[in-house]
Amino acid sequence: MDKLKINGGKSLNGTVEVSGAKNASLPILISAILGSGKSRYERVPALQDIKTTELVLNHLGLSSTFEKGVMTLDAAKIATVDAPYDLVRKMRASILVLGPLLAREGKAKVSLPGGCAIGARPIDLHLFALEKLGAKITLDGGYVIAEAKRLKGNRVAFEFPSVGATENAMMAAVLAEGETVLENSAKEPEIVDLAIALRTMGAKISGEGTESIHIQGVNALSGANHRVVGDRIEAGTFLAAALATRGRVTVNGLAPHHLESVLAKFEEAGARVVRGEESITLEANGRGKGTDVKTQPFPGFPTDMQAQFMAAMCVADGSSLITETIFENRFMHVPELARLGCDLTIRGNSVLVRGKDRLTAAPLMATDLRASASLVMGGLCAEGETVVSRIYHLDRGYERMEEKLRSLGARIERVKESD
């Protein structure tokens, strides 16, 4: 198991290229199940979660190649409609195979993903949507079994705009008979990217990015040809690190409006933000100012940026109240950040952060993906050597993070646990 060794106290400066978005890639690669031909995807990040997705798809009978960010998937034949626990437990997003398998094969059997470190994360909204499209759902031995000879288009009104449930419903509805309208659907850029990829397969979708998505079902889909959107969360992480270390960083390769709610908060915290066509520059104006944040579905402040923003506020001037409304247990970074000397008080679903001028290095343990990024940021600010262990969490979602940080001037290296 690898660790990251960080010698903090240095400002980040320079330009970094963002990778393709992990959270867009996962559903998009899975949507290849729907097409009877070969699909080709560009700008796919080389991440653990992507390897897991490839394994799941290989298990279902899709052949694949993955080289230099290009993944090809051939779904000429589906070998099985069964996604077992051993594969699904490695990555919750595997539940997204349910909709496309059911739509194409008339049946799917997928292990229930169970809880995860950041909360219970039920899938009731996924099942609700598939039932509305005519699926018969049974739960047996820890598996969801969904059956329908042919799904039928319908109006599906979500109680909450779940990203995963919207994606599963979209992938089911594209092959259903007739029209589907998804109301109160998620509006995240990853949903829009999935719609774009599905359209290259011949799907008839409109309204993505708004709360009401219209889908006209078709009888069959061909292979896809798509380039994945830039990772807004990765970009936001580097910009937050620039703010925290009082530096100046440009991120290239994403649409600034995908990150607008976060950029507005950086500005409120005193940073200068320049929005280019496909780039963003953040220049810290000395020490940041304490700024309150509340996570919300898109276009609100993303829960996936909460931990990193908190890390930046730990070294800001003044207090900040960080409120998490999406996941119930997403403060696992708090006790770890406290080890660096951060002054943090948890009150229900909020954390009161009292900014400190200085942090001091400490050994830290990564707990989940975005929490890990916040610990790395804490290490970049702290004086002395911080070691972050269990960084396999980080490797699930950030491509070559330490290399990219090094190119910005950070003193950070990867070491093997045994070293």
Catalytically active residues, by annotation: 116
Q: Is 31 in the site for ligand UD1 (CB under 6 A)?
A: no
Helix (H), strand (E), coil (C) string for the chain: CEEEEEECCCCCEEEEECCECHHHHHHHHHHHHHECCEEEEECCCCCHHHHHHHHHHHHCCCEEEEECCEEEEECCCCCCCEECHHHHCCCHHHHHHHHHHHHHHCEEEEECCCCECCECCCCHHHHHHHHHCCCEEEEECCEEEEECCCCECCEEECCCCCHHHHHHHHHHHCCCECEEEEECCCCCHHHHHHHHHHHCCCCEEECECECCEEEECCCCECCCEEECCECHHHHHHHHHHHHHCCCEEEEECCCHHHHHHHHHHHHHCCCEEEECCCEEEEECCCCCECCCEEECCCCCECHHHHHHHHHHHHCCECEEEEECCCCCCCCCHHHHHHCCCCEEEEECCEEEEECCCCCECCEEECCCHHHHHHHHHHHHHCECEEEEECCHHHHCCCCCHHHHHHHCCCEEEEEECCC
Of the candidate spans 3-11, 160-168, 339-347, 411-419, the one that interacts with ligand UD1 by CB under 6 A turns out to be 160-168
Residue 120 vs 220, nearer CB to ligand UD1: 120
The correct pick among 83, 93, 228, 394 for binding ligand UD1 (CB under 6 A) is 93
**Min. distance of Cβ 191 from ligand UD1 in angstroms?**
9
**Min. distance of Cβ 304 from ligand UD1 in angstroms?**
5
Q: Which of 330, 27, 383, 378 is nearest to 193 (CA)?
A: 27
Q: Is 121 in the site for ligand UD1 (CB under 6 A)?
A: yes
**Min. distance of Cβ 283 from ligand UD1 in angstroms?**
28
Q: Is 114 in the site for ligand UD1 (CB under 6 A)?
A: no
**Min. distance of Cβ 366 from ligand UD1 in angstroms?**
16
The correct pick among 16, 26, 314, 365 for binding ligand UD1 (CB under 6 A) is 26
Question: Footprint of ligand UD1 on residues 274-313 (CB under 6 A)?
Answer: 302-304
Q: Is 237 in the site for ligand UD1 (CB under 6 A)?
A: no
The correct pick among 42, 79, 114, 124 for binding ligand UD1 (CB under 6 A) is 124
Q: Which two tokens stand for residue 417?
A: 């646990």
Question: Footprint of ligand UD1 on residues 314-353 (CB under 6 A)?
Answer: 326-327
**Min. distance of Cβ 338 from ligand UD1 in angstroms?**
23
Of the candidate spans 67-75, 157-165, 206-214, 404-412, the one that interacts with ligand UD1 by CB under 6 A turns out to be 157-165
Binding mask 40-59 for ligand UD1 (x = CB under 6 A): --------------------
Q: Is 232 in the site for ligand UD1 (CB under 6 A)?
A: no
The correct pick among 47, 83, 125, 351 for binding ligand UD1 (CB under 6 A) is 125
Q: How many residues bind ligand UD1 (CB under 6 A)?
A: 21
Residue 160 vs 392, nearer CB to ligand UD1: 160
**Min. distance of Cβ 254 from ligand UD1 in angstroms?**
16
- Chain residues that interact with ligand UD1, rule: CB under 6 A: 23, 26, 93, 119, 121-126, 160, 162-165, 190, 302-304, 326-327
